[in-house]
Amino acid sequence: MDGFITILCALIGSGAATALVTGLVSWRAEQRRTETGESQGLRYLLQDRLEQQALTYLGRGYVTYDELRRWNRGHYIYHDLLGGNGDLNGLKEELKHLLYKAEEDAKHD
In the chain, what are the domain boundaries? 1-34, 37-109
Angstrom distance (rounded) from CA 81 to CA 78: 6
Residue 90 pLDDT exceeds 80: yes
Mean pLDDT confidence for 97-105: 81
| Residue 11 predicted with pLDDT over 60 | no
DSSP string, the chain: -HHHHHHHHHHHHHHHHHHHHHHHHHHHHHHHHT--HHHHHHHHHHHHHHHHHHHHHHHHTEEEHHHHHHHHHHHHIIIIIS---STTHHHHHHHHTSEEE-HHHHHT-
pLDDT band at 92 (very low <50, low <70, confident <90, very high): very high
Overall average pLDDT of the 42-59 stretch: 96
Q: How large a percentage of the chain has pLDDT more than 70?
A: 75
